[in-house]
Amino acid sequence: MTLSYFRSLAWADYFINALVDPRNLFRIFARKDAKPFGMSFIIPALLAITEILSISLLGSESSFFYYKISYGWILFFLIIILKLIISASLMDMIAQFFGFNGRIKELVSILNYSLLPGVFLLPIIYIFKIMNFAPLFFYFLFTLLLTIWSAFIAIQGISEMHSTGFGRALFIYLFPSIFALLFTFFIIILLIISGVGFFFG
Amino acid sequence: MDRNRKILASILALLILSIIMAVTDITFRIQDTEKRGIKAGMPQIGPGVGIIRIEGPINMSSGAGLVGVKSQVERIIDRLDSLSRNSDIKALVVRINSPGGTVAATQEIYQKIWKLRKKNIPIVASMGDIAASGGYYAASACNYIIANHGTITGSIGVIAFSPNLKGLFEKLGIKMNVIKSGNYKDILSSHRDLTKEEFAMLQKMIDSSYRKFLKDIALGRNMNQSEIEPYADGRIMTGEEALNYKLIDELGTFEDAIDKARRLAKLDENSPVYDEVKTPVEQILMSLEGMLKWNNIFKEKYPGSGNYRLEYRYLP
């Protein structure tokens, strides 16, 4: 990324479109001069920093406080990336099941950019923390609201990428969560069956 | 599009600014902790001594202030609560630098410390420049009291007063129109003399609060009320005199109090000290709160002006 590219503010288009027009964001990806993939990882890194700082500001005074701000964000960043790659893989898998082309790289970029609203949590929470006005409540409230916004960006992006309707894009987006829920449910069932067999068999 | 790009760049710049502010805030916390003798580079873990600070006049404001800063009593009780929930806190040191304050606020702090003492958490009071009246009341709830040689303490008693401006009002030709539902509704009004009945009524309240003061001190110090009563006439005294009267247990510094707390809790001599940390933002807000409450400052300087209350307070 050259300095002239940075000064041109062309990179800002990704962020603007992620926030205001997620469908156009995907159309920008298709441009020849676009470099969305590498740059998209700035957002999870930024999110990890802002999230860990928000938690640190809200957290009580403990020795862990000092660790979490120094190393915690790296761990948090790695967790976000891992979660994102697994989610993208599952989304791409179900998209292919629906007959769409596999486009994991673009999907990872979209999911990365969709995390952008989350970075605004820190300034919001900081205000409530300074005012000492139910910061924890607003932390959860805004986390929820910003997560919904993030989901909306991702769904719009997926819908544009596969030229499909909102409903199918929503299903693709929710598939990893549904999969995780079903997986957990069956694990619990199997554990119960094993437990019953062990104790009463 | 160019305009949008600039707007977004500005938003991102603000975001980065908030990150820098948050990091600075946290860094100052760490530095502040270092200043108080706690190593932040190597965070301390494990059983240790928690510090609670009671500073300035003790009073309760009505909830959060103008900029959301909690009242001193709420802050102290929150701090005591959070320390009591922390499994690493094996002993407490209550650092007192206060001339006392309102009766109810002081009693709340006393009761909170007493409850913790009942849970067998060793609590040591360390007196700073002044721990008189309500400041001493709070200290008496602790297991052990350490004061400096020159600490001003004592002042065991209750006070309530109001200025009598009747003469001034008459001189200026000001007359007050008072419509009241009962005889005593304007008790302690500054525009008239106190009646004998009102005086007796107030004296009864003062005596009742005084008896409670004595009773609680006797309970906290494990003494008879009769042993304290000769010195509980409102007199102030130095730490040394207080030791002679058995109102404190030892002469020493804040560090001595921490060491004593460690010994009482059978902690290692290098065990960590978990001090109260105010962030720079909180400090600025508290100063701002003080400035915004100019009315309170006026009352602080001229206590008779309005808002009458009973106080366990040393008022020179």
Residues A85/A94, Cβ–Cβ less than 8 Å = no
Distance of alpha carbon A38 from alpha carbon A109, whole angstroms? 8
Higher pLDDT, B25 or B132: B132
Query: Is B21 in Cβ contact with A131 (below 8 Å)?
Result: no
State both tokens at A122: 């820190």
- Asked whether the beta carbons of residue B281 and residue A67 sit closer than 8 angstroms, the reply is no
Q: How far is B164 from chain A (nearest CA, A)?
A: 40
Name the token pair of B153.
Answer: 């303490």
- For residue B107, the tally of other CB atoms under 10 A from its CB is 20
B71-80 average pLDDT score? 84
Compute the distance between CA of residue A161 and CA of residue A154 in angstroms, rounded to an integer.
10
Banded model confidence at residue B24, pLDDT cuts 50, 70, 90: confident
Which pLDDT score is estimated for B29?
64
What local confidence, expressed as pLDDT, does residue A199 receive? 79
Average pLDDT of the residues in B185-210: 90
* Contact with chain B for residue A131, Cβ under 8 A: yes
pLDDT at A68: 63
| Nearest-by-Cβ selection for B67 from A13, A120, A131 | A131
Tokens of B255: 């560090």
d(CA B127, CA B98): 9
Given the structure tokens 């964000």, which residue do they identify?
A73
Q: What pLDDT score was predicted for residue B283?
A: 58
pLDDT at A73: 79
State the average pLDDT over residues B69-87: 83
Least confident span in A162-171, B10-19, B237-246? B10-19
Closest CA to B220 of B158, B142, B146, B147: B142
Mind telling me how many Å the CA of B34 is from chain A's nearest CA?
Answer: 12
Does B71 participate in catalysis according to the annotation? no
DSSP-derived pairing of the beta strands B152-154 and B236-237: antiparallel
Question: Cα–Cα distances in Å, from A175 out to A95, A116, A120, A181, B89?
Answer: 10, 21, 26, 10, 46
Interface contact A133, partner B, CB < 8 A: yes
What pLDDT, in 10s, does the model give residues B31-64?
555 555 444 444 566 889 999 999 888 887 654 4
The per-residue pLDDT for B191 is: 86
The residue of chain A with its CA nearest to that of B18 is A123
Cβ distance of B281 and A130 shorter than 8 Å: yes
Across chain B, what does the average pLDDT equal? 82
Residue B68, pLDDT score: 53
Q: Across the interface, do A15 and B12 touch by the CB < 8 Å criterion?
A: yes
Contact A85, A78 (CB under 8 A): no
With an 8 Å Cβ cutoff, are A53 and B22 in contact? Answer: yes
Residue A57: list chain B partners with CB under 8 A.
22, 25-26
| Strands in chain B per DSSP E | 48-55, 89-98, 100-102, 123-132, 144-147, 152-154, 236-237, 250-251, 273-274, 311-313
Query: pLDDT per residue over B118-175, tens digit each?
Result: 998 999 999 999 999 999 999 999 999 999 999 999 999 998 888 889 899 999 999 8
Whole-number pLDDT of residue A129:
83
Quick one: what percent of chain A has pLDDT higher than 90?
42
pLDDT higher than threshold 50 for residue B304 = no
Residue B162: name the closest of B305, B53, B314, B1 by CA.
B305
| Per-residue confidence (pLDDT) for residue B224, from 0 to 100 | 92
What is the distance in angstroms between the CA of the first residue and the CA of the last residue of chain A? 65
Q: Are strands B144-147 and B48-55 parallel, antiparallel or unpaired?
A: unpaired
B224 by Cβ neighbours in 10 Å (0-12 / 13-18 / 19+) ranks as exposed
- Residue B248 predicted with pLDDT over 50: yes
Block residue for tokens 């919904």: A148
Give the per-residue pLDDT at B291: 52
CA A126 – CA B80 distance, rounded (Å)? 25
Is B189 noted as a catalytic residue in this protein?
no
| A94, pLDDT greater than 80 | yes
A46-60, B80-94, B222-236: range with lowest mean pLDDT: A46-60
Full DSSP string of B236-262: EE-HHHHHHTTSSSEE--HHHHHHHHH
Predicted confidence band of residue A188 (pLDDT cuts 50, 70, 90): very high
Decide if A12 and B40 are in contact by the 8 Å CB cutoff: no
Cα gap B49→B57, rounded to integer Å? 25
Please state, as a whole number, how many other Cβ atoms lie within 10 Å of the Cβ of residue B31. 13
> For residue B290, is pLDDT > 60?
no
* Residues of A with Cβ-Cβ distance to B68 under 8 angstroms: 130-133
B212 contact partners, CB below 8 Å, separation of at least 6: B107
Of B9, B21, B68, the CB nearest to A9: B9
Query: Which residues does chain B have within 8 Å of residue A13's beta carbon, measured at their own beta carbons?
Result: 1, 5
**Residue A184: which pLDDT band, with cuts at 50, 70 and 90?**
very high
Residues 47-106 of chain A with CB under 8 A from chain B are: 49-50, 53, 56-57, 60-67, 69
User: Average pLDDT of A60-74?
Assistant: 63
- Residue B60: the pLDDT is 78
Interchain pair B5, A16: CB under 8 A: yes
CB contact under 8 A, A53 and B1: no
Whether residue B190 is predicted with pLDDT greater than 80 in this model: the reply is yes
Q: Are B142 and B94 in contact (CB under 8 A)?
A: yes
Task: Identify the pLDDT of residue B96.
Answer: 94
Chain B partners within 8 Å of A17 (Cβ):
none
Whether residue B15 and residue A50 make contact (CB cut-off 8 A), yes or no, is yes
Amino acid letter at A80?
I
Q: Domains (ranges, CATH) in chain B? A: 1-41 (no CATH), 44-313 (3.90.226.10)
In Å, how far is A15's CA from the nearest CA of chain B? 8
Active-site entry in B39, B115, B180, B185: B185
| Least confident segment among A120-129, B81-90, B192-201, B275-284 | B275-284
List CB contacts (< 8 A) between B43 and chain A: 63-67
In Å, how far is A27's CA from the nearest CA of chain B?
Answer: 15
Chain B nearest CA to A13, separation (Å): 7
Helix ranges (DSSP H) in B36-102: 72-85
- Kindly state the DSSP code that residue A142 receives in the 8-state scheme: H
**Helix/strand/coil for B94:** strand
Question: With bands split at pLDDT 50, 70 and 90, how would you rate the model's confidence at B295?
Answer: very low
| d(C-alpha B92, C-alpha B305), whole Å | 38
Q: What pLDDT is attached to residue B297? A: 43
A53 or A91, which is more confident? A91
Flag whether pLDDT at B99 surpasses 50. yes
Name, of A116-130, B71-85, B212-226, the range with top average pLDDT: B212-226
